Amino acid sequence: MSSTLDSPTPLKHTIESSQGLSVLKLSDAAVASKRVAREIGALIRQRASENRNCVLGLATGSTPIRVYRELVRMHREEGLSFHNVITFNLDEYFPIQPNAAQSYVRFMNEQLFDHIDIVRTNIHIPNGTIELEAVPGYCRDYDELIATTGGIDLQLLGIGRTGHIGFNEPGATRDTRTRLVKLDTLTRVDAVKDFGGMDQVPLLAITMGVDSILQSSRIRLLAFGEHKADIVQRSIEGPITSTIPASYLKTHRDVQYLLDDAAAECLSPSTLGETPQ
Ligand code: F6R
């Protein structure tokens, strides 16, 4: 099993490249979330008008909740249909039952899927109930399925305080694919609020890899609050390194960070396109 898990070393540094990166500081989380929801809505409608599917990569956690709320509102009040939408979620704890309070299947149903007209068979979330032996094959199939649907058009991301995207924790290299990973201690500490105690937090998760994420056509990363400010600064202004998997996003051709004031607080004025006073 250990061969399927990331080892925290060695660290990899690559050349800086951030031409496809844009960083937006917005007045608050609500404004940033609405902006992303509008972009997603426009993409779904454009694809529908071309009789094509729209493939979305989705995240869980506290950060994207307002985006999902806004998408549900657009469905109810503006007739946005999800009939042509296919979704792939980033990750799931392992093992976990889908009806567990902390399961990402349950989260996605409650926050989004139960309130829109998506075709249930178009929803894909890593399965936290499969046998350990079946995980490597399952993960290969997950990446293959993303590819055969035509790839992810827009990937929504949050960022963990470890610098993880999905559950690609420090040590995850640029070429990682969907796989079983060990959760970082800091990530598990942050999950205690959901599980009630450190001993209840799973040690493992299935996550799309860094490379799986970077295959997406567009990536939109949301980060809110001062507890994200330091890692946001290091992932944008620091070197590209496996110590901070989010730093690999700088190699992507179309990635946007949407931040509130607090999460942008450690960034230099030049990153934000501001003129120093
Ligand atoms: C969730 C995920 C994680 C979270 C990150 C931030 O599917 O992949 O990378 O986006 O841990 O979590 P929150 O939004 O709760 O701060």
Report strand pairing: 204-207 vs 21-25.
unpaired
Q: How many CB atoms lie within 10 A of CB 239?
A: 14
Instruction: Establish whether residue 91 lines the binding site of ligand 1, counting it when its CB lies within 6 angstroms of any ligand atom.
Output: yes
* From 50, 70, 78, 169, active-site residue: 169
The predicted structure's pLDDT at residue 141:
98
Q: Is the CB of 164 under 6 A from ligand 1?
A: yes
Residues 6+ apart with CB under 8 A from 85: 44, 53, 54, 55, 56, 118, 122
First to last CA, the chain: 54
pLDDT in tens, 151-166: 999 999 999 999 999 9
Residue 2 has pLDDT above 90, yes or no: no
Residue 261 binned pLDDT confidence (cut-offs 50, 70, 90): very high
pLDDT greater than 90 at residue 210: yes
Range 115-130 burial, b when 16+ CB lie within 10 A, else e? bbebeeebbbbbbbee
110 CB neighbour count, 10 Å cutoff: 11
Distances (CA, A) of 115 to 69, 76, 240: 9, 9, 39
Name the burial class of residue 159, with classes exposed (0-12), middle (13-18) and buried (19+) by CB atoms within 10 angstroms of its CB.
buried
Q: pLDDT tens for residues 124-135?
A: 999 999 999 999
Which pLDDT band holds residue 7 (cuts at 50, 70, 90)?
Answer: very low
Q: What is the pLDDT of residue 5?
A: 62
Nearest Cα residue to 240 out of 232, 249, 231? 249
pLDDT value for 14: 36
* Spatial separation of the C-alpha atoms in residues 216 and 213, rounded to whole Å: 6
Q: What single-letter amino acid sits at 48? A: A
Overall average pLDDT of the 159-187 stretch: 98
Interval 102-126: pLDDT, tens: 999 999 999 999 999 999 999 999 9
Three-state DSSP at 109 gives helix
Distance 190 CA to ligand 1 centre (A): 10
Q: Which two tokens stand for residue 40?
A: 């997603």
Q: Is the CB of 60 under 6 A from ligand 1?
A: yes
pTM: 0.94
142 CA to centre of ligand 1 in angstroms: 20
What rounded mean pLDDT belongs to the chain?
94
Residue 169 annotated in active site: yes
- Is any ligand 1 atom within 6 A of the Cβ of residue 166? yes
- pLDDT over 90, % of the chain: 91
In short, whether 246's Cβ falls inside 6 Å of ligand 1 is no
Q: Say whether pLDDT at 194 is over 60.
A: yes
245 CA from centroid of ligand 1 (Å): 13
Cβ–Cβ under 8 Å, residues 67 and 222: yes
pLDDT, residue 101, reads: 98
Relative to the CA of 158, which ligand 1 atom is closest?
10
277 pLDDT tier (thresholds 50, 70, 90)? low
